[in-house]
């Protein structure tokens, strides 16, 4: 039976009386081929359309440009090219919110190495990528899962899995793709994709270690872990429920909120507006004067704002403000002209990246 013999496959299923392991049913449809890639037509002349496919991964653009990038940026192997962009897959079942979509955003890196050095780099990138995920999510929610069946182009592959509310699922893939992609582009295009290694004084098609992560899936992992409901003491020491988005400060969409303690004192509101106008040039900030201060803190907690600045009557006297931290709810008094530096330092992406060094 050939690979595309659908009728033969159906006959075999009937002959062997294969049943659905769950329902026991043998009521099968005809065997059909799934189209996993999206196709479209290209041509501005009617009747002359040629079929083309939307990319199911961003990687191939990197492979075809490999020599351009290497030469124009004067890179030596080992080096990597990273890219972010849309990918499209005709998923059979697209579900679980944004976990599996037909159009999604990928961040991929192809790291080019000497043939034979791929396992060393594969281990390196496994560790580096896990370190990144641990910097933004708890270690207990992350694990490695080796592939049981390797794709035809790979000689090693692992998933970094995250424990989503619906179980441990793939978040990122790290694959050792050998010279399969560059080798295939070279064979089919007839154009050489070889690198001349000045240290070895020889040319070769580099081997590739790939890291591939879905932006949407990573967003879902961080969000599903961060949104928490907890009971905390309120201003009177009574138990009170709060919803808090414990998102890492570097990823929080709003870094800081400026809140005048009351809104019916013109002087106070003017001062708070002035502080807000200065801070909003530094990072995304919100100004809020509606409702009691406790409710405004809760509103900011729920959208994950790491810091709140409160302007009160003392501010008018000594130019100090209260800085309140989202997770611990600790408050401290700081001079108003230090607010921008302190909040920037605590919410800076570099601070997160420094953990990876």
Nearer to ligand ATP by Cβ, of 144 and 196: the residue is: 144
Please identify which residue in 80, 206, 214, 260 interacts with ligand ATP, judged by CB under 6 A.
214
SS (H, E, C) the chain: CCCCCHHHHHHHHHHCCCCCCCCCCCCCCCCCCCCCCCEEEECCCCCCCEEEECCCCCHHHHHHCHHHHHHHCCCCCCEEEEEEEEEECCCCCCCCCCCCCCEEEEEEEEEEECCCCHHHHHHHHHHHHHHHHHHHCCHHHEEEEECCCCCCCCCEEEEEEEEECCEEEEEEEEEEEECHHHHHHHHHHCCCCCEEECCCCEEECCEEEEEEEEHHHHHHHHHHHHEEEEEEECCCCCEEEEEEECCCHHHCCCCEEEEECCCCCHHHHHHHHHHHHHHCCCCCEEECCCCCHHHHHHHHHHCCCCEEEEECHHHHHHCEEEEEECCCCCEEEEEHHHHHHHHHHHHCHHHHHHCCC
Q: Which of 70, 106, 225, 300 binds ligand ATP (CB under 6 A)?
A: 106
- Residue count at the site for ligand ATP (CB under 6 A)? 15
55 binds ligand ATP per the rule CB under 6 A: no
Using CB under 6 A, pick the residue from 7, 91, 270, 354 that binds ligand ATP: 91
> Smallest gap, in angstroms, from Cβ of residue 164 to ligand ATP?
11
Task: In angstroms, give the least distance from the CB of 91 to ligand ATP.
Answer: 5
Among 104, 132, 195, 297, binds ligand ATP (CB under 6 A): 104
Q: Nearest residue to ligand ATP, using CB?
A: 214
Told to check if 172 binds ligand ATP by CB under 6 A, we report yes
Residue 216 found at the interface with ligand ATP (CB under 6 A): yes
Q: What is the Cα 351 distance to its own chain's centre?
A: 18
> In the complex with ligand ATP, which residue's Cβ is closer, 170 or 325?
170
Nearer to ligand ATP, 216 or 348 (CB): 216
Residue span binding ligand ATP (CB under 6 A) among the ranges 10-18, 98-106, 131-139, 261-269:
98-106
Interface with ligand ATP in residues 4-23 (CB under 6 A): none
User: With binding defined as CB under 6 A, does residue 212 bind ligand ATP?
Assistant: yes
How many Å apart are CA 204 and CA 333, to the nearest integer? Answer: 62
Q: Does 77 bind ligand ATP (CB under 6 A)?
A: no
Q: Interface with ligand ATP includes 170 (CB under 6 A)?
A: yes
Interface pick for ligand ATP out of 10, 100, 246, 282 (rule CB under 6 A): 100
**CA Rg, the chain, in Å?**
28
* By the rule CB under 6 A, 163 interacts with ligand ATP: no
171 lies in the site for ligand ATP, by CB under 6 A:
yes
Which of 100-108, 227-235, 242-250, 254-262 is the region at the interface with ligand ATP (rule: CB under 6 A)? 100-108
Chain residues in the site for ligand ATP (CB under 6 A): 89, 91, 100-101, 104, 106, 170-173, 212-214, 216-217
């Amino acid at each position: 039976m050939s690979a595309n013999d659908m009728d033969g496959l159906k006959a075999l299923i009937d002959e062997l009386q294969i049943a659905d392991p769950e329902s026991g049913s043998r009521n099968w449809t005809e065997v059909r081929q799934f189209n996993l890639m999206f196709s479209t037509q290209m041509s501005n002349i009617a009747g002359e359309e040629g079929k083309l496919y939307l990319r199911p991964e961003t990687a191939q653009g990197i492979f075809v440009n490999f020599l351009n990038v290497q030469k124009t940026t004067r890179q030596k192997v080992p080096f990597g090219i990273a890219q972010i962009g849309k990918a499209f897959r005709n998923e059979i079942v697209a579900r679980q919110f944004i976990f599996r979509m037909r159009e999604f955003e990928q961040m991929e890196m192809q790291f080019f190495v000497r043939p034979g050095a791929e396992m060393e780099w594969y281990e390196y990138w496994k560790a580096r990528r896990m370190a990144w995920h641990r910097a933004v999510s708890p270690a207990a929610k992350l694990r490695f899962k080796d592939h049981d069946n390797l794709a035809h182009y790979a000689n090693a592959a692992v998933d970094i899995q995250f424990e989503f509310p619906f179980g441990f699922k793939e978040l990122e893939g790290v694959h050792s793709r050998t010279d399969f992609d560059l080798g295939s582009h070279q064979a089919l295009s007839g154009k050489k994709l070889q690198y001349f290694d000045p240290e070895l004084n020889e040319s070769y098609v580099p081997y590739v270690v790939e890291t591939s992560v879905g932006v949407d899936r990573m967003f879902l992992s961080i969000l599903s872990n961060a949104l928490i409901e907890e009971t905390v003491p309120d201003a009177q020491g009574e138990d009170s429920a709060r919803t808090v988005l414990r998102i890492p400060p570097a990823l929080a969409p709003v870094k800081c909120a400026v809140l005048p303690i009351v809104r019916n004192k013109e002087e106070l509101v003017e001062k708070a507006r002035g502080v807000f106008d200065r801070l909003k040039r530094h990072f995304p900030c919100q100004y809020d004067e509606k409702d009691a201060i406790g409710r405004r803190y809760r509103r900011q907690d729920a959208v994950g704002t790491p810091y709140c600045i409160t302007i009160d009557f003392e501010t008018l006297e000594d130019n100090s403000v209260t800085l309140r931290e989202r997770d611990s709810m600790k408050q401290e008094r700081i001079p108003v002209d230090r607010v921008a530096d302190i909040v920037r330092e605590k919410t800076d992406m570099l601070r997160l990246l420094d953990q990876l060094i």
